[in-house]
Amino acid sequence: MKKSLAAVAVAGAIVLTGASAAHAYPVDIECVANPTTVALGGSTTISCTGLNDDFDATFSVTGPGVQQGVTLTSVAASAATGTASVTKPVVGGATSATFTPPTAADYAITVTQGDESFGTFTDTVTVTVVEGSASGGTGSTGGLPATGGDVPGAALWLGVGALGVGGIAVAAAAARRRASRA
């Protein structure tokens, strides 16, 4: 009888511990911005994992040109200075929001999840906004992208030579035709 009671007590402890572990609140929220550097007028997506499906996540940004002007899918920014936020549902431990910055600056976007009962957990990502192209170009802050191609000088001269030889051949054929008619 003692063994049966001990087995029931251990089984009960395992069941209760397993249930609390299944509903444990995550403490390791991980958020990334893609891309982390955007051109002025572009946007970036902030994606987060390690979240609890029982709570929504709030994306907040403060910075130059930011004001509350949000939709259900993104954090938007405009000409006024301030803070904007949007709350997104969490599905499968993940969520995301789109941020469209109003001016060239560094913006810190903080993602928060939780409540008074479980505690609040956050992660912050930084997005750099540059004037011009964020993907390359000249200068350390982006600038215009390189256009055209890099053709070696020898290839250019070869093409010019081929055009010259073709021109001479056409002129010679025309001269032969004229001479045969006369």
Provide the CATH number for the domain around residue 53: 2.60.40.1930
Q: What is the pLDDT of residues 25-46, one digit of tens each?
A: 556 788 888 888 988 888 888 8
The answer to whether position 91 is within a domain reads yes
Please indicate, yes or no, whether the overall pTM of this predicted structure exceeds 0.85.
Answer: no
pLDDT at 66 over 80: no
The answer to whether position 7 is within a domain reads no
User: Whose CA is closest to 143, among 47, 43, 40, 50?
Assistant: 40
> What pLDDT was estimated at residue 119?
77
- What is the tally of structural domains in the chain? 1
The answer to whether position 57 is within a domain reads yes
The answer to whether position 45 is within a domain reads yes
The answer to whether position 67 is within a domain reads yes
Q: What is the pLDDT of residues 11-25, one digit of tens each?
A: 455 544 544 444 455
When mean pLDDT is compared across 64-78, 101-115, 153-167, the lowest value belongs to 64-78
Range of the domain at 122: 23-130
Q: What is the pLDDT of residues 90-132, one digit of tens each?
A: 888 888 888 888 788 888 888 888 877 777 788 888 888 888 7
Average pLDDT over every residue of 69-79: 49
Q: Is the dihedral of CA 35, 131, 43, 64 positive or negative?
A: positive
The average confidence (pLDDT) of the chain is 73
Q: Which pair of structure tokens corresponds to residue 77?
A: 């920014």
The answer to whether position 160 is within a domain reads no
Average pLDDT over every residue of 42-70: 81
In whole angstroms, what is the distance from residue 138 CA to residue 38 CA?
15
